[in-house]
Amino acid sequence: MTDQDDQSWFDGLYQTGPQDKPPPDLDTRIRAAAREPAPGRAPRHYARWAAAAAVVLAAAVLLRLPPDAGSAYHGVAVETDRPESAPVAPPAMITPVETASRESARAGADLRASVPSTPAEASASAGLMRAKAGDDAERPAPERAAPAKQIADSMPAPPDAPAQALGALATNGTAGRCATLHVPVDGVNHPAEVCIDGDQLRVTLVNAACPPLTVALSASAHDSGPAGGQEIPSGPDSRALLPDRGMPVCVTGTWDYEPLPEQPTRPLTRP
Amino acid sequence: MSRYAGGDANAFDVLYGRHKDASYRYFLRQLPEAAAADCHQTLWLNLIRARTRYQPTAPFRAYLFHLAHNVLTDQHRRSGRNPLTLVGTDTDGDPVRPDDLCGADDPAATLVRNRQAVRLMTLIRALPAAQRDALLLRAEAGLSIQEIADITRTSAEGIKSRLRYALRRLRAEFTDD
């Protein structure tokens, strides 16, 4: 017998076998199931995803740091309005140390004309200044916030001048070059023009009715101070630093200036 | 099937009416009746659920029995054995299925044929599972050697061998009786 014979024998016999059929109720169930909607992405499915996405989005918004949140350079907090997308690590650092009263700034008083000529007057003038940032922090928050807000409201829109602009100036050692950046006063960033003029750093608050603040770069910027920068006194005491450059009569703050270690080959000398 | 996948629910009735008996018997020849009914339902529900993913790359019959083979494999895996069951016995103790028997003209001839057919079904159930599966895919689904090989992930020569051994065994045992 060949395989074909076996196959023919089987086919003939198998065809006479019982022609079983599925039970009718089974047919009914299957046909009913076939008429149900096609499985897929039901609206309920999308709604769940949308709800989950909304929760994630809300959490991201709530947890987002304020745009002017502090950033740290060399372990020292530096407040700038640096855009989030801007590169970090400027080669220079400006740190607020002391803040003068905004009353004098708002009044637009040209304190150059009222330079204290006697120790008593100097002491009184110095009383307008806060000796250290710690003093500033001790003041009640509302007292600080209100004038700061007024100043901030009077300021133009912050320019996109990050602190590294100043660092670039310092790195290049280009005398007479200026950059517009934000300097913090009482925790509020203000646009200011910062220039390096020789070995001096001149900071002028934009829209502030004050003459330029001129301070000197410190030769010992890397060595002194807990922040690694040289604290430059403000107010009448600055006269000692700037005997020939005019008085910083409308001081709204003093800043440490610290070039990055790798940058200046140009010696920084105290005038 | 493409029409049904496209949303034509009536197309399913045509499709089901054309293939339901063969698929049911494919299970019934290898499983107890209750399990066969379950597998038959599972097969068609699987096909209904997967209708949107259907790609007409092969004849529908081959596609259907590929699914059926998978359902049967799952059933065997769940049961942990390859069950052999009798569909019933008559007064003489021979297995018989009284309904749906063919040939009603000559009662005597019909009885003989029915007994032979029932005997054949019993012998089919006694075949090794792989041989029986290949034989029923050939007999009920009418698939080609290559289609059966594709479904069972075996070579065509392997399927030919299974069918050859199965037929020889059936014929030999049937003749012995």
Which pLDDT tens digits describe chain A residue by residue (271 residues)?
Answer: 677 888 888 888 888 877 888 888 888 888 888 887 765 555 555 566 666 666 666 666 655 544 443 333 332 333 333 344 444 433 344 433 333 333 333 333 332 323 333 444 333 333 333 333 334 444 444 444 444 444 444 444 333 333 444 454 444 444 456 666 666 555 556 666 766 665 566 666 665 544 444 444 433 333 333 333 333 344 333 333 333 333 333 333 334 444 444 444 455 555 5
What are the DSSP calls for B8-77, one per residue? -HHHHHHHHHHHHHHHHHHHHTTS-HHHHHHHHHHHHHHHHHTGGG---SS-HHHHHHHHHHHHHHHHHH
Using a CB cutoff of 8 Å and minimum separation of 24, what contacts does B33-36 make? B33/B85, B33/B87, B35/B75, B35/B79, B35/B83
pLDDT in the model for residue A96:
39
Question: B12, A34: Cβ pair inside 8 Å?
Answer: yes
pTM of the complete model beyond 0.80: no
Judge whether A54 is closer than 8 Å to chain B, CB to CB.
no
Question: A30, B45: Cβ pair inside 8 Å?
Answer: yes
pLDDT in the model for residue A207:
55
Q: Residue A21 is nearest to which of B100, B118, B163, comparing CB atoms? A: B100
| Closest-CA residue of chain B to A6 | B167
Dump pLDDT digits (tens) for B98-110. 343 333 456 676 6
Which of A35-44, A184-193, B23-32, B77-86 is predicted with the least confidence, judged by mean pLDDT?
Answer: B77-86
pLDDT category of residue B77 using cuts at 50, 70 and 90: confident
Q: Are A161 and A179 in contact (CB under 8 A)?
A: yes
Q: How many CA atoms lie within 13 A of B95 on its CB side?
A: 17
pLDDT in the model for residue B78:
79
pLDDT in the model for residue A32:
86
Residues of B in contact with A27 (CB under 8 A): 16, 20
pLDDT in the model for residue B119:
85
pLDDT in the model for residue B49:
84
Q: What are phi and psi of A227, to 5 degrees?
A: -90, 5
- ipTM for this prediction: 0.72
| Closest-CA residue of chain A to B12 | A34
* Residue A85 C-alpha, separation from nearest chain B C-alpha, in angstroms: 45
